[in-house]
Structure 1
Amino acid sequence: MEQRDKRTRIQDVAKEAGVSVATVSYVLNEKGNIREDTRQRVLKAAEKLNYRRNAAGRALVTKQAQAIGLIAPKGRGVTDPFFSLVAAGITEEARRMDYPTILMPGEVTGEEVVNEIQNHLIDGVFLMEIEEDDRRIHELKSEEVPVVLFGQTRLPVGWVDIDNYRGAWMATSHLLELGHRKIVHVSGPKNDRVSRLRRQGYVDCLLSWDSSLVPVVEEGAMTRESGYQLGKRILQLDSRPSAVFVASDVMAIGLMQAVLEQGLKIPRDLSVIGFDDIPLASEQVVPLTTISQNATDVGRQMARQMVAQLEGKVPEQHILMPELVVRQSTGAAPESKPAAYAAERITLKQGPAFCLWSEKGTIDLERGNQGVFYADTHWLNTYQIKIDGVVHQPVWTDVQQNGFSMRYVLELGDGTLDVRRKLVLYHRSLVDEWSWTRWGGNRDCDFELHVSPDFRDVFELRGFQSPSKGTRRSELGESGGESHLYIGKDGVTRELNIVVTPSPVDNELGFKRWKMDGTAPSGTFRFEISWMVPGGLVMHDEHRMDDVPVFDIENAIWQRVLKRSSEDIEMLRQDFGFGALPVAGLPWFGTLFGRDAIITAFQFLVTQPLYAERTLATLAHMQGRVRSAATGEAPGKILHETRVGELSNTGVVPFRKYYGSVDVTPLYITLLEATWRRTGKDDLLHQYLENAEAALAWIQNELGRSSLGFLTFEASESEGLVVQSWKDSSTSMVHSDGTTARPPLAVAEVQGYVYQAFKAMSRIYHALNRCDDAAVLDEQAVQLQDRFQKSFWMESIHYYAMAVDRDGTPLQVLSSDVGQCLWTDIIPQSHRKAVVHRLMGEELFSGWGIRTLGSSENAYNPYSYHCGSVWPHDTSLVVAGMSGTHFLDEALVLSESMIEAANLFPDARLPELFAGHPRTDEQPFPLPYPLACAPQAWAAGTPWLLLVSVLGLSIDAVNKTITARPSPMKIGSVTIEDVPLDSQTVKFVFTPEKVQIPSLPKEWIVKVASKETCE
């Protein structure tokens, strides 16, 4: 990879001398009790590298701060309210850590800052405003000046930023949900980085909602006067908007002044939303709805980063998430019903039950993927609480795995209503408790419950049509409760009951109303909804939590993403009779999928092998035993998915027990061998040998049926899947001209899985002293690899085809499938470099992850399911392959990019997939795929596989060997505790210098691999 010339760093001296950064600092500053031979070694290294100590090195030793410079924004300086708040946060936090700050003018040059450093007047600098061509950043970086920016840069310096793009999306989405369609965006200067991001967020949100909507942007300066003038201009437009999203609160305040001077009302005539949440926003005549970025917290974070640098730590980057603050300046669009759409912001799961809610804690009829799900049935399609006829926005929300709490503050004119809510999801019920306290006033309020049961099969929500419906009965109880029965066409009775306390004043099916007495100081409401199915459909409940590894990662972004990953995989656990393992994803795939379960088990194999053991047991129990054209079942074949919903039970869809995947069966064999090797449990081989041999027999039989000698799939004879590899959408397999290839097809990574399975089964046979059987499989693996090389290699582009058809014609397109082949080892050593080069090129690497299809292909669509999108698990397998074949630089680049993408999604949660748009300065955020599952199992497993891959961590309990490498500098120290090893647990400590495993059993050995170029 390209190396850039740069000034020698203190880290370089430490590496040359073979000591820590702190030791170098003590030697160069003549501090500490350092051995003479070590001191001489450091001095010689510094002289050899022509090293000149910097402020960070000085501060690390002396612990005496001169001061930290704070460079104001150009032009605005201390008059900018947002800067004032950030500066206050910086000053407060820096002072707490004994560092004074000095305000410097925005026009100061990099050279002047360096002079201040060299004169020992300051130790570092905060830069509050960056531009695309700001030379100061480069000058400061080249001189090793400790610097923390407000705003992103590609340079490896510390920075803190707000997710401006997502904040703009939130603001625009809020207006759209209120029914507005004519929305103007008042933007800052065109070339201003922050303004550009907010403008792009507005445009993308508007068009993703409805592509026929027309973005309108008015540009100006980030001042009150500019906002005032733009407000007057907007009011003179021929087609006046009903809402305006303004890029800053200062501009918004000026704009509102212009609106009010015209005698117009806010929000009746014009809704206005700002950005920043400066103190003046809440003090306007009409308090301003805005996007809060908590400027003081930004400043505190910048100060903490600076002090960390001065103490010798690696610069970090942080993106803080904004929040929507709803006040009185936004309302429903005139003569328009507010849109019922609200994004699924809250996902809950308890055992086999899960539910999706809007950010307001509602389930809305018009949004089909919201609701309560259990046993492949959608139980509720409406659940809303209204006070005085309005669903209110909570001012505070706390979400846990199986519940949420919310708080609402309602102004009553003569008083305030303080409302608290706590909802808990159980295995077959939910309880929603409300309590309220009145502060002043005596006006009665209406409290209403709107609820509607559903009983639809989950496939109906995805567009499948039911040819006929069962019968429903509903009864209204005297005390306000309701009972609903649905007798499906499958003969199954599904029952939903609603219990309310106290009894309502008005009681109808689906509607309850209570009076909140104006003379009462407080009150409570309680609602319980339960659902029941016959015993045969009751899902196994898993009550006991597993022991999980405890981890601590120096890099805060990695720590945040891994924490979310662990929480998501815990949420997705479900017991199918052999111990809990993750379901595939919510809401559409909340059940067992063979492929997803196996890949997720691989991702967690090093740290949590129990998932792999349970996956082996569960899938062995459901292994195919008979032949069925309808379900794809065959003896030895491993399950694709299982369902218990009405459409599956009646055969409208074939997924009750469905075997329509070609790749799960070889993956099962590979998982068995890998799990045995990871755990050292010989019993696993004996317990599942029959299953593995049945799977092997199915594979070999299918290979024998293929004229090309590959594992292929035919078109489904039922309503099942047309494509039966992991890219299972019907249009995923394409030729270079963009046309769809039709089965039978031999897909690249599937042949890799077969090769991998042959090698794995050979190792199993060797362990069982069946060496002749092992030799046969080794020879079959070699022959398959030769056929693969001849049929799939495309010499013209130095890459492999995505697939070949029945005639042996290759699908000559760039695809991610080939990247997975690195993981399977089917690609010979001589061709790996060419494959990695293509994978890291701009056609396949989006800047966030590996695209499923190259951006230059005719069928490429960044928003498609499999023809240009990025799937995190797909990239994680590519990284595992690169790491295992010594392409460590590339593995780290992909890993860092995917973790950065995860950090930019809500709650640092990787979705099932996201759009394949390139990462650019104009588009510095990953764009979502509208219907992606989140949480999703193999997306949640991705960060763990990335981590163990870049750490080179593998555990071979059969040979009592652990292999690992020191952690990359960008990740810093990594500690993982409570990792199962034989009958105990161990702790791993990784630093950029070494690997430590305290209390390792004596018979074990550790092989520490070189980091090589993995920096």
Structure 2
Amino acid sequence: MTMDSEASKNLAEELDTARYDLVVETSLVGESLQNLKDGDSFVVLNSHGDIGSTNTAEGLFYRDTRFLSKLELRFQGRKLLLLNSSSYDDKAALSVDLTNPEIQDDLGTLPRETIFLQRTKFLFKGVFYERLSLRNFTTSDRKLTIDYRFGADFRDLFEVRGLNREKRGRETSRISAPDRVEFLYMGLDGVERQTSIAFAPVPKFLEANRATFELALRPGGKTSIFLTVACKEGEQARVLDFFRAYRASRRARRTQTRDIATVESSSELFNEVACRATSDVYMLITSTPFGSYPYAGVPWFSTIFGRDGILTAMFMLWMDPSIARGVLRTLTSMQASEVDPSSDAQPGKILHEMRRGEMANLGEVPFGRYYGSVDSTPLFVMLAGMYLDATGDLETVIELWPNICAALRWMDDYGDRDGDGYVEYQAESNGSLKNQGWKDSHDSIFHEDGTDAVGSIALCEVQGYVFAAKRFAAQMAARLGHHDMATELKEAAEKLRIRFEADFWDEDLGTYVMALDGMKRPCRVRSSNAGHALFSGIASLDHAKRVAATLLSRDGFSGWGIRTIAQGEARYNPMSYHNGSIWPHDNAAIAIGFAQYDLKEEAARVFEGLFDAAKGQEMRRLPELFCGFIRKPGRGPTPYPVACSPQAWAASATFGILGACLGLEQAHSENEIRFRKPTMPRFLDEIVLRNVQIGSSSADFRMHRYGNDVATNVLDRRGDAQIHIVK
């Protein structure tokens, strides 16, 4: 089944509209939501640890389907009082502390706050585990009734986000054992999905949507109830004993981060921000047959996204290069090999997004394997070159070389169909995303008068990515002995740079234009896109300084970060998704660009804004984005209602900017760790980096700020790597 042209018309706008319609009913900032993720499953819970409303993002999801849409705990038929709800530092588990309201029953009055209940929850290999512990703090025996109310609607993630479907598959449920209920769904895609809910001990009463326990507790007495929810799509998930599964989950988390570089500073608040960012990145990392891959974000994007994974790997490269290797190898396994207009695929193109839910399987949304991003392909080549520079892993690059060459061919052929030297995009089908850069809302690319840019669009930042991709590819080609190819690529990159400066620079704006439309007319809009020209290195030094000044002006910089669109532009809206909001990953790429042009103070200013934003957020976490309102004393940034949190490229942004400010470079070919003109933001006096690796060597460093100067000490060195501080 695929979409006919009428049904698919304007699907991109419908999906985009659904994102905004969700603000009313499914705002992620309306109350404190908690989430956990492991592999292909994630769960979103309210502050009580319940899944309480089918009209929100709450639920247990597996492979883009909600396998559990309701899970509510009741005590004597009443909702419990919340004491505390927090996730563990490593995001391995969630702990929710609760107590009873005052209860009147046949035994008289049970005073409030005399029964303590703790819910410990975690995910492991497709199974959701919960332990409910109870303790009686009264001085008398108590008989207690505990109810779990539950349900499974098997809604596709895009239905949860707001898209309506005329037809759905068949749902059934059954009590399969005294301690077990199963919900089954036969989808229209022919896939059977099953949710199996089991309890221990055996409930007193068990119905299709309710389990009731009757407990007796002596004074000071304790007891526990265990719950497991297993998601099945194909192979049955293996359910373990709670404690065995918990230990295995914690071991798996520790193994993930065992060999990474670590950060500790003189600022306890920054340590909290860095700790949260680390745990978020590694919670989102998912094991694939080709290595580790950071899924984009919870709840809407818990899957493989090409652009998001690549940029996350770039920001994390100095800390953990294995992420880059996993991203590169995973994306090569899904690189397009043929032309398919329905998925915007052409040979050599790198994936934009992969979905595995019922609607994607049926073609009701075009994202089963969807290639509608113009920048993932050059970014892929950039990452390969950066990875080789940092690690010297020539074996992996040799493995990837045919895919790198295919990506280069895509840039020159399908990416540049009119042969003007610029890589452009245009929607291939009615179901395609209208805009295919990272700002992919339907209204995000426009002219100075607010009219849409039409035709084949050449984005400012994409030309920079292509420039950098060809330069990195030239270096890789030379390493592999393809010297003629290396020369051709260097010449092509330089030719692109010269033409880019002529066509994209706008003297009156003091920055690069956002894009050229299909008629080669410039989109004369001050935007954050221009900052990526510094990230890629295509900008001239003089123009780089002008871009930085424009981005950090009052119109561009809110005090929390650089806006996607400058204040005063035709479509500027600080509450929009892409037209005036602030994205941490966007700011990180720009700050890295500043640092590459020795604009370190400017990079530090961006870092300070994002740090101040993070320290005011719940859990010290940078979300996917936040609103672009001007910073006001005594107030934090305004949240964006449906921003994903955590989001991989937002979490990793902290480390990308930190490495840039410190000028940290791992030059494998010289066996050298460098700190080039290190700068530290004002909120840090001292920072300690441990286990910074180069080849088989590693080192630990202490860096201390004295005013505008930074002193660097080597605390320990393992191996023969050289350390070089460039002043």
Shared fold (TM-score, shorter chain, > 0.5): yes
Label 1:607 to 1:422 Cα distance change in 2 as closer, same or farther (>3 A): closer
Q: CA deviation at 1:505?
A: 4.2
Is 2:119 the counterpart of 1:402?
A: no
Do the aligned partners of 1:990 and 1:996 also contact (CA within 8 Å) in 2? yes
Match of 1:853 in 2: 565
Q: CA deviation at 1:999?
A: 5.0
Is 2:162 the counterpart of 1:449?
A: no
Q: CA deviation at 1:966?
A: 4.2
Q: Per the alignment, in what secondary structure is the counterpart of residue 373 of structure 1?
A: strand
Label 1:733 to 1:537 Cα distance change in 2 as closer, same or farther (>3 A): farther
1:378 corresponds, among 59, 66, 69, to 66
Q: CA deviation at 1:517?
A: 4.4
Give CA-to-partner distance per residue, 1:917-975, whole Å, 9 cap, x none: 11122x63111101111111000111001111110111110122322044527222211
Measured in 1, the distance between the counterparts of 2:24 and 2:178 equals 44
* Pairing 1:237-252 to 2, within 5 Å after superposition: none
Do the aligned partners of 2:504 and 2:522 also contact (CA within 8 Å) in 1? yes
Match of 1:726 in 2: 438
Do the aligned partners of 2:551 and 2:557 also contact (CA within 8 Å) in 1? yes
* Pairing 1:86-165 to 2, within 5 Å after superposition: none
* Pairing 1:209-220 to 2, within 5 Å after superposition: none
1:662 corresponds, among 359, 374, 380, to 374
Is 2:718 the counterpart of 1:997?
A: no
Do the aligned partners of 2:81 and 2:99 also contact (CA within 8 Å) in 1? no
Q: CA deviation at 1:807?
A: 0.6
Do the aligned partners of 1:631 and 1:718 also contact (CA within 8 Å) in 2? no
Q: Which has the larger radius of gyration?
A: 1
Measured in 2, the distance between the counterparts of 1:468 and 1:703 equals 38
Label 1:969 to 1:731 Cα distance change in 2 as closer, same or farther (>3 A): closer
Match of 1:254 in 2: none
Do the aligned partners of 2:39 and 2:125 also contact (CA within 8 Å) in 1? yes
Give CA-to-partner distance per residue, 1:715-747, whole Å, 9 cap, x none: 240423111111111111122222232342111
Could you tell me which amino acid in structure 1 is paired with residue 302 of structure 2? G
Match of 1:577 in 2: 289
1:462 corresponds, among 161, 164, 167, to 161
Do the aligned partners of 1:370 and 1:381 also contact (CA within 8 Å) in 2? yes
Is 2:230 the counterpart of 1:530?
A: yes
Match of 1:419 in 2: 117
Do the aligned partners of 2:604 and 2:679 also contact (CA within 8 Å) in 1? no
Match of 1:872 in 2: 584
Measured in 1, the distance between the counterparts of 2:492 and 2:603 equals 30
Counting matched residue pairs gives: 673
Do the aligned partners of 1:612 and 1:675 also contact (CA within 8 Å) in 2? yes
Could you tell me which amino acid in structure 1 is paired with residue 230 of structure 2? S
Is 2:654 the counterpart of 1:943?
A: yes
1:978 corresponds, among 691, 698, 703, to 691
Indicate the larger mover: 841-850 or 676-685. Answer: 676-685
* Pairing 1:264-663 to 2, within 5 Å after superposition: 343-400=31-88, 401-410=91-100, 411-412=102-103, 413-415=109-111, 416-438=114-136, 439-441=138-140, 444-477=143-176, 479-517=178-216, 522-535=222-235, 543=252, 544-546=255-257, 547-663=259-375
1:885 corresponds, among 597, 601, 605, to 597
Measured in 2, the distance between the counterparts of 1:458 and 1:429 equals 19
Do the aligned partners of 1:706 and 1:712 also contact (CA within 8 Å) in 2? no
Please report the TM-score for the alignment, with normalisation by the length of structure 2. 0.88
Q: CA deviation at 1:523?
A: 4.2
* Pairing 1:880-959 to 2, within 5 Å after superposition: 880-921=592-633, 924-959=635-670
RMSD: 2.5
Do the aligned partners of 1:340 and 1:367 also contact (CA within 8 Å) in 2? no
Indicate the larger mover: 968-977 or 801-810. Answer: 968-977
* Pairing 1:698-717 to 2, within 5 Å after superposition: 698-702=410-414, 704-706=416-418, 708-717=420-429
Is 2:467 the counterpart of 1:755?
A: yes
Label 1:811 to 1:509 Cα distance change in 2 as closer, same or farther (>3 A): same
Could you tell me which amino acid in structure 2 is paired with residue 353 of structure 1? S
Q: Per the alignment, in what secondary structure is the counterpart of residue 988 of structure 1?
A: strand
Please report the TM-score for the alignment, with normalisation by the length of structure 1. 0.64
Q: Per the alignment, in what secondary structure is the counterpart of residue 685 of structure 2?
A: coil
Do the aligned partners of 2:186 and 2:193 also contact (CA within 8 Å) in 1? yes
Do the aligned partners of 1:608 and 1:979 also contact (CA within 8 Å) in 2? no
Q: Higher strand share goes to which structure?
A: 2
Q: CA deviation at 1:499?
A: 1.6
Label 1:367 to 1:471 Cα distance change in 2 as closer, same or farther (>3 A): closer
Q: Per the alignment, in what secondary structure is the counterpart of residue 299 of structure 2?
A: coil
Could you tell me which amino acid in structure 2 is paired with residue 408 of structure 1? L
Q: CA deviation at 1:448?
A: 1.4
Match of 2:724 in 1: 1007
Indicate the larger mover: 687-696 or 466-475. Answer: 466-475
Do the aligned partners of 2:296 and 2:305 also contact (CA within 8 Å) in 1? yes
Measured in 1, the distance between the counterparts of 2:577 and 2:230 equals 35
Q: CA deviation at 1:371?
A: 0.9
Could you tell me which amino acid in structure 1 is paired with residue 291 of structure 2? G
Could you tell me which amino acid in structure 2 is paired with residue 827 of structure 1? A
Give CA-to-partner distance per residue, 1:652-710, whole Å, 9 cap, x none: 11211111111111111111111111001222332211111111011011355225431
Measured in 1, the distance between the counterparts of 2:172 and 2:24 equals 38
Label 1:658 to 1:502 Cα distance change in 2 as closer, same or farther (>3 A): same
Q: CA deviation at 1:476?
A: 2.3
Label 1:999 to 1:719 Cα distance change in 2 as closer, same or farther (>3 A): same
Q: CA deviation at 1:642?
A: 1.4
Indicate the larger mover: 765-774 or 811-820. Answer: 765-774
Match of 2:242 in 1: none
Measured in 1, the distance between the counterparts of 2:433 and 2:490 equals 32
Do the aligned partners of 2:701 and 2:716 also contact (CA within 8 Å) in 1? no
Could you tell me which amino acid in structure 2 is paired with residue 806 of structure 1? G
Match of 1:63 in 2: none
Label 1:1005 to 1:505 Cα distance change in 2 as closer, same or farther (>3 A): closer
Label 1:561 to 1:649 Cα distance change in 2 as closer, same or farther (>3 A): same
Q: Per the alignment, in what secondary structure is the counterpart of residue 349 of structure 1?
A: strand
Q: Which runs of 5+ in 1 are unaligned?
A: 1-207, 212-338, 1011-1015
Do the aligned partners of 2:230 and 2:237 also contact (CA within 8 Å) in 1? no
Give CA-to-partner distance per residue, 1:884-943, whole Å, 9 cap, x none: 10111111111111111111111111000000011122x631111011111110001110
Percent sequence identity over matched residues? 31
Q: CA deviation at 1:621?
A: 1.3
Measured in 2, the distance between the counterparts of 1:552 and 1:661 equals 37
Measured in 2, the distance between the counterparts of 1:340 and 1:608 equals 30
Could you tell me which amino acid in structure 2 is paired with residue 980 of structure 1? Q
Measured in 1, the distance between the counterparts of 2:182 and 2:267 equals 52
Measured in 1, the distance between the counterparts of 2:481 and 2:203 equals 74
Q: Per the alignment, in what secondary structure is the counterpart of residue 843 of structure 1?
A: coil
Measured in 2, the distance between the counterparts of 1:537 and 1:693 equals 40
Larger RCO, structure (CA 8 Å, separation 6 or more): 2
Measured in 1, the distance between the counterparts of 2:128 and 2:384 equals 39
Q: CA deviation at 1:865?
A: 0.7
Could you tell me which amino acid in structure 1 is paired with residue 631 of structure 2? R
Match of 1:771 in 2: 483
Do the aligned partners of 1:342 and 1:358 also contact (CA within 8 Å) in 2? no
Do the aligned partners of 1:405 and 1:420 also contact (CA within 8 Å) in 2? yes
Could you tell me which amino acid in structure 1 is paired with residue 632 of structure 2? T
Q: Per the alignment, in what secondary structure is the counterpart of residue 739 of structure 1?
A: coil
